[in-house]
Structure 1
């Protein structure tokens, strides 16, 4: 909720579309651009097995 408010205060639109498990869930961020394109950002794992 705090990150959504922070984005809105900065003039951006932010929404939580689905909330899952707080301990084992992932965050998926979709950025919709004004030109109709979009980018999706998800966590990834490096060669050592650490989440980055």
Structure 2
């Protein structure tokens, strides 16, 4: 049972670690990063995460 729990949590963590990141610059030059798209935000292309 513990093995299934460990595997489930590990897979869940791996799936949530990869998210889309959006960058928005407002009229005053303030930069905001978010995982939710908003008006004027651009999706950032991030390099792949290295795993061991």
Report which of the two structures shows the higher radius of gyration computed on alpha carbons: 2
The structure with the greater share of residues assigned to helix is 2
TM-score w.r.t. the length of structure 1 is: 0.30
Q: More relative contact order in 1 or in 2 (CA 8 Å, sep 6+)?
A: 2
TM-score w.r.t. the length of structure 2 is: 0.30
